[in-house]
């Protein structure tokens, strides 16, 4: 039986607001499990204004700009509770936050992360891009090739409690890559970042790319996608976040 996944396209949302929503939804799902219920799987799709986030395993010195510099760049800095080091989010990225109950998929974080990477690799392949893994490093990379060493096109960072996940991926469709100059991306000093648009040499259709990614995700997880309009998605997410779970 296919697992229903509620796909919630929320549009552009400030990072702190999206994180607060994730925490509220995640807390509700965990509470449902503790009460013997079966929480719905959710997938938040967002784009953020310029922001740098630092994971629990990250190093503050990997942010290479001062607070004044960030203000001039109209960017913010937020330490968060995911794994990984520092990364950038901004316009031109497709950011996905799956809140999945892995007990109903497969309770294995390594397999979960590799599956998300596979979904992105397949999505890139649809546009003729050869995405790949780099041993010992999370994320999806392009290269090495005649354009240079491998460069990251999609970053991942996750958190899990009682096998309910949060945080997720950031796929570079066509962001302003100069913002990555302000950090040591993911704490990796000897490799760069790229975008689908840069590699293709043309604009990327964000909606079409999202549709292909969702199709691959549904297949990889054995899921049935439940779709919402942006307005309905925001209302649904708010109602779920504010709901009280009966013990």
- Between CA 97 and CA 247 the distance in angstroms is 27
Q: What positions carry a catalytic annotation?
A: 186
Domain ranges of the chain: 3-242
Alpha helices, DSSP H, located in the chain: 15-34, 67-72, 109-126, 196-200, 206-221, 230-242
Instruction: Please state, in angstroms and rounded to a whole number, the distance separating the CA atoms of residues 127 and 151.
Output: 17
CB-based contact 156:84 (threshold 8 Å): yes
Burial of residue 245 (number of CB atoms within 10 Å: 0-12, 13-18, 19+): middle
Give 136-152 pLDDT, tens digit per residue.
888 999 999 988 889 99
Q: Note whether 96 and 45 are within 8 A (CB).
A: yes
pLDDT band at 114 (very low <50, low <70, confident <90, very high): very high
Total-model pTM: 0.95
- Classify domain 3-242 at the CATH topology level: BirA Bifunctional Protein; domain 2 (3.30.930)
For residue 247, the model assigns a pLDDT of 47
pLDDT value for 246: 54
Q: Stretch 114-132: mean pLDDT, rounded?
A: 97
Strand partners, 94: 171
Q: Are strands 51-54 and 41-47 parallel, antiparallel or unpaired?
A: unpaired
């Amino acid at each position: 039986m296919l697992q229903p996944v509620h796909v919630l396209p929320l549009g552009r949302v400030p990072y702190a607001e999206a994180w607060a929503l994730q925490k509220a939804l995640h807390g509700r799902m965990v509470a449902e499990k503790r009460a013997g219920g079966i929480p719905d799987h959710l997938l938040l799709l967002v784009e953020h204004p310029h922001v740098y986030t630092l994971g629990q395993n990250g190093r503050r010195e990997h942010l290479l700009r001062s607070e004044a510099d960030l203000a001039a760049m109209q960017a913010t800095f937020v330490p968060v509770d995911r794994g990984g080091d520092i990364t950038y989010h901004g316009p031109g990225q497709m950011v996905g936050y799956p809140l999945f109950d892995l007990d109903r998929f497969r309770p294995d974080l390594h397999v979960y992360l590799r599956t998300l990477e596979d979904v992105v690799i397949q999505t890139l392949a649809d546009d003729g891009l050869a995405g790949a893994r780099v041993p010992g490093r999370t994320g999806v990379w392009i290269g090495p090739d005649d354009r240079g060493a491998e460069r990251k096109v999609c970053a991942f960072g996750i958190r899990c409690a009682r096998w309910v996940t949060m945080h997720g991926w950031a796929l570079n469709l066509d962001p302003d890559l100069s913002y990555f100059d302000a950090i040591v991306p993911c704490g990796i000093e000897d490799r760069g970042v790229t975008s689908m648009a840069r590699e293709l040499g043309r604009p990327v259709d964000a909606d079409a790319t999202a549709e292909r990614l969702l199709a691959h995700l549904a297949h990889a997880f054995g899921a049935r996608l439940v779709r919402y309009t942006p307005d309905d998605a925001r209302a649904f997410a708010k109602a779920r976040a504010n709901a009280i779970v009966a013990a």
